[in-house]
Structure 1
Amino acid sequence: MNYLRNATLAFWAAALPLAACAQAPALSTFPVGAATVTVSALTTNLNTVWELVWGPDNFIWMTERYGRISRVDPATGQVQALLTLPDVTPTGESGLLGLALHPQFATSPYVYVVYNYTAAGALKEKLVRYTYSAAAGTLTAPLVLLGGIDAATSHSGSRLLVLADGTLLMTTGDAQQQPQAQNTASLNGKILRLNLDGSIPASNPIPGSPVYTFGHRNPQGLVQLPDGSLYSSEHGPNNDDEINKIEAGRNYGWPTVEGYCNLPAEATFCAANNVREPLTTWTPTIAPAGLVYYNHPAIPAWRGSLLLALLKNASLLQLPLAAGGQSILPSTGYLTTFGRLRAICVSPQGKVYIGTSNRDGRGAPATTDDRILVLENRAYVPTATRPAAALAFDIFPNPAHRQATVQLPVATSRLTVRDLAGRAVRELQPDGTLSAVLDLSGLRAGTYLVHAESAAGRATRKLVVE
């Protein structure tokens, strides 16, 4: 069993012509701590970007609500259209929504998408798996893993997320059928958990059911941290947008509870129904959408924070997590001049990619909208190009919990994690990749040494596991 997962994060920029690697013109800049973040446009003239996922092929995978699935080259901005869904129904807030990739994409090139369609005159939602051909540039062989879910022109969710345990989460909205959020026999107003073949995990809270959590109104952001913690962003009615810490089997209150359990009737319901209160709420509402975790050294002041894309408030919000991740520290807003923001992902180089949603019927699109914006600290120089020892490497986060990333300057023949007694506890041959993810699950808290070996020599870094 390999305890170190190859992340296959090769530095594509080194192989591209200089013209292709030239930096795009800056649209704006803003300070984040001591760093200056530059905003540029990767690509333009899109139509309601709904999802952005950084793929193991080092491309950005994108969905647009009208039904197109594409790969976007992060070096050139070139959009490679793979498929426009033939049966998508893009009406109101419905259409093509979330996307996820199989974690063993090289050998299992499966792409998961969730979208709305029409069946017998009724709007529905389904989760479909496609097979990707890199040679042909196509998505074929659609397999419906879950279908027939009630939908509406609003409140359909739906974000997808593959967890570290190899299962798939899918958020669903209440489809304007509010009581169904509390009905565990219904798939609306839920976070669902499936195996990657569509079967139901034996460890789900309700045997034989895909329901993982319930009592949701319209969750549209979902992220897992390296320590396994799960967080979701959720739209409230005219009050109480939420960030929730997701825990298996918990009830999140809707429609009886809006935000905290702070009214007498809500407190009674919460006590009797295992309700998990949100970490934070917003009234007036801000329309929270895509959610990621940022912990890269490129922008140090953002490390240990959730980054949240906002639709109504048209900005990017930094939500620092307190130690233990059980509360959120005071937030800071950025990126306030580009309209509605919905999709967000982070590259292994610490760049943040954000998709605008100004053509969704509620925005005021500029002539080049919709766009994918790039947020980066252009002064940051990664270890791989610093004038340092040939095999100097970085580990982040450090201290770490369940995972840490090793960023290597050159191809490395072996990585070994040893305890302070010198015993090897993890080993891997990285097969020429420049980055690898250390799976730290099962290790006791303490200090370890990570050894890297290559033709250039050997190097060792200390790693603290919490």
Structure 2
Amino acid sequence: MKKLSTLIGLLLLSGLGHAQTFTRTELPTSLTTPWEMTYGPDNYLWLTEAGGRVSRVNPTTGEKTVVYTAPDYFAGSPLEQSPLCFQPNIGVGTLGLTLHPDFLASATSYVYFVYSYNSGTAAAPATKFKIVRLTWDAPNGRVIGSQDLVLNMPTGYDHLGGRLLAVKQNGLSYLYFTVGDNGVSDTNSPDCYVPQSNNPNNLAQDPAYKNGKVHRFNIDGTIPTDNPIPGNSFFTRGHRNPQGLIYNPVRNIVYDTEHGDRTDDEINVLEKGMNYGWKNVRGYHGDDNYPGETAYINAYVPNPLIANDQLKPAMYAWCAVPQPTTSTSADWCSVAPSDGAYYGSNAIPAWTNSLLVVTLKNGSNTDQELFQFKLNPDGVTLAPATPSDPNPKRFFTADQELNGRLRDVAISPDGNKIYLTTNNFGSPDKIIVYTYSRPLATAARLQREIGLYPNPAQGNVTLDLSRLPAGNYGVELLDALGRPVGQQQLVASQRPQVLDVQPLATGTYWVRVYNEKAQLVVPLVRN
């Protein structure tokens, strides 16, 4: 959805009464189809790129080093192409990456990542995914070894999943890995499997198959003894296309984000052994937005091999509506969430204890943006929303023409910088940095800091910045929706300036005064 851009590089976001202002910049880093970006404890950004590559980027200068290229990366074969429907190619790529929870310790300085390889032969190719561990030599800044940890993870013609997350829980380190249902949508492309019972998405709830699952491994690639079924790597099941994993270290919770089919994109709280319902149950329970959903829930029979087996609803579902009849994907209200991160810092107070999730889709009523989900202290429910304080909130929406598809998000250790990476199919991809600007003053001090008179006004308004610290300031006039209607540069020590508001329609406006560090926002009434 195309919208007006704000002043380049400076955005007024959320409600003006509790606005967060960010400065937008781009690192001078050229990327090729990045999929994972994580901010490492070594103060570098770690990314995966096309062709089995792992890159390390300086988050200040943007200098990039490709530290590893997988020698056995496999981009699939024409022999694996489906002869049916639109003849899709087999799913391939360089996907998730994660760092050992004790990455800074020399004994565990490991990087883990996922890529496609050929488990067959040239004459009989069989693309699969693997998880590989790289040994990082921190003093010399190089990879000194690689080891296959997990082999033969499935792929298909769509819905690959592919996110990887390393966390330490109760003193033990684990790898979580998402695998999508691997099937082309039977709603959107009903002719891709004959019969449709051959579609692998029918197996998403079956623990005997790896697709449609979130898997949990020990950090060395073995299967934990306390997984839901002994000897089975599955941790949760009934997933369609889980492209994101988020860890909340405060509550020791792992979440996933996943794509729905036309509707019901989800955030789920992952609980051991539980069934998240795909493809019979979508999004929330009880709304019966998908034919047969309520009947399936009511008749559900727990798997006797899985302790306390239950169907679990989404913690949050975007687009929780009945299935649309249009075949135009741009008109569906699904947002295509990719990955997310837990925001635990106090640097942006309104964001503390939140999930940040980025999206891929620019549709008729959806945007490529960042969603902020404010959590309750329990970590499994969202804080209440009100008309004046929605939850979730949307950020960076006005920049989607500059940004494009947002594949991943990372947060600086101080909480002041939000890093986004793009995934735009063909054009060079990039790393975008949004730096938070702290307010210069509280609302009670505004009148002492800035002189604005007369107010209300019909013609000229005097703006006096002489009480601010000396220096250059930007001045931006915004309408009631936060859209700029004019801007200029002023020096705080110079004589008061005159703003002409006579051409403006009557109503409430906002005068925003800012520098590279902070901002003040003052209401102005045109009568």
Find the counterpart in structure 2 of residue 181 from structure 1. Answer: 204
Separation in 2, partners of 1:46, 1:290: 18
* Contact 1:67/1:90 (<8 A) preserved: no
Match among 434, 454, 472 for residue 375 of structure 1: 434
Find the counterpart in structure 2 of residue 37 from structure 1. Answer: 22
* Contact 1:50/1:98 (<8 A) preserved: yes
Find the counterpart in structure 2 of residue 192 from structure 1. Answer: 215
Find the counterpart in structure 2 of residue 335 from structure 1. Answer: 396
Answer yes or no: is 1:322 the counterpart of 2:365: no
* Contact 1:28/1:40 (<8 A) preserved: no
Separation in 2, partners of 1:81, 1:232: 28
Give CA deviations for 1:351-371 in whole Å, capped at 9, x if unaligned: 211111112x6xxx4xxx411
Find the counterpart in structure 2 of residue 217 from structure 1. Answer: 240
Specify the structure having the higher radius of gyration (Cα).
2
Separation in 1, partners of 2:20, 2:9: 17
Answer yes or no: is 1:68 the counterpart of 2:92: no
Separation in 1, partners of 2:424, 2:11: 21
Give CA deviations for 1:224-268 in whole Å, capped at 9, x if unaligned: 112112211001112211111111110011112222333373234
Give CA deviations for 1:426-446 in whole Å, capped at 9, x if unaligned: xxxxxxxxxxxxxxxxxxxxx
One-letter code aligned to 2:114: V
Which aligned pairs between 1:84-233 and structure 2 lie closer than 5 A? 84-90=69-75, 94-105=92-103, 106-107=105-106, 108-120=108-120, 121-165=125-169, 166-176=173-183, 177-225=200-248, 226-233=250-257
Question: Which shows bigger deviation, 274-283 or 82-91?
Answer: 82-91
Give CA deviations for 1:36-56 in whole Å, capped at 9, x if unaligned: 111111233211221111112
Q: SS of the counterpart of 1:163?
A: strand
Which aligned pairs between 1:361-440 and structure 2 lie closer than 5 A? 365=427, 369-379=428-438
In the TM superposition, residue 183 of structure 1 has moved relative to its aligned partner by 1.3
Separation in 2, partners of 1:182, 1:39: 43
Q: SS of the counterpart of 1:358?
A: coil
Question: Which shows bigger deviation, 28-37 or 139-148?
Answer: 28-37
Answer yes or no: is 1:250 the counterpart of 2:309: no
Give CA deviations for 1:18-71 in whole Å, capped at 9, x if unaligned: xxxxxxx97342335343111111233211221111112111111113322111
Find the counterpart in structure 2 of residue 239 from structure 1. Answer: 263
Find the counterpart in structure 1 of residue 197 from structure 2. Answer: none
Q: SS of the counterpart of 2:35?
A: strand
Where in structure 1 do 4 or more consecutive aligned residues deviate above 6 Å? none
* Contact 2:47/2:56 (<8 A) preserved: yes
Find the counterpart in structure 2 of residue 344 from structure 1. Answer: 409
Answer yes or no: is 1:310 the counterpart of 2:359: yes
Separation in 1, partners of 2:12, 2:64: 28
Q: 1:26 to 1:52 in 2, by over 3 A?
A: farther
Unmatched tracts of structure 1, length 5 or more: 1-24, 382-466
In the TM superposition, residue 282 of structure 1 has moved relative to its aligned partner by 2.2
Separation in 1, partners of 2:131, 2:99: 13
* Contact 1:229/1:245 (<8 A) preserved: yes
Separation in 2, partners of 1:289, 1:302: 20
Separation in 1, partners of 2:232, 2:30: 41
How many residues align? The count is 350
Q: SS of the counterpart of 1:49?
A: coil
Q: 1:335 to 1:65 in 2, by over 3 A?
A: farther
Separation in 1, partners of 2:407, 2:130: 21
TM superposition score normalised by structure 2: 0.63
In the TM superposition, residue 135 of structure 1 has moved relative to its aligned partner by 4.3
One-letter code aligned to 2:161: G
Give CA deviations for 1:291-333 in whole Å, capped at 9, x if unaligned: 1111222222222211111001311111222342333352221
Separation in 2, partners of 1:346, 1:298: 11
Q: SS of the counterpart of 2:222?
A: coil
Give CA deviations for 1:401-459 in whole Å, capped at 9, x if unaligned: xxxxxxxxxxxxxxxxxxxxxxxxxxxxxxxxxxxxxxxxxxxxxxxxxxxxxxxxxxx
* Contact 2:174/2:219 (<8 A) preserved: yes
In the TM superposition, residue 211 of structure 1 has moved relative to its aligned partner by 0.8
Answer yes or no: is 1:280 the counterpart of 2:316: yes
One-letter code aligned to 2:409: I
Aligned-residue sequence identity (percent) comes to 40
Unmatched tracts of structure 2, length 5 or more: 1-6, 77-88, 184-199, 303-309, 320-332, 362-366, 386-390, 441-527
Separation in 1, partners of 2:279, 2:263: 12
In the TM superposition, residue 222 of structure 1 has moved relative to its aligned partner by 0.8
In the TM superposition, residue 175 of structure 1 has moved relative to its aligned partner by 1.2
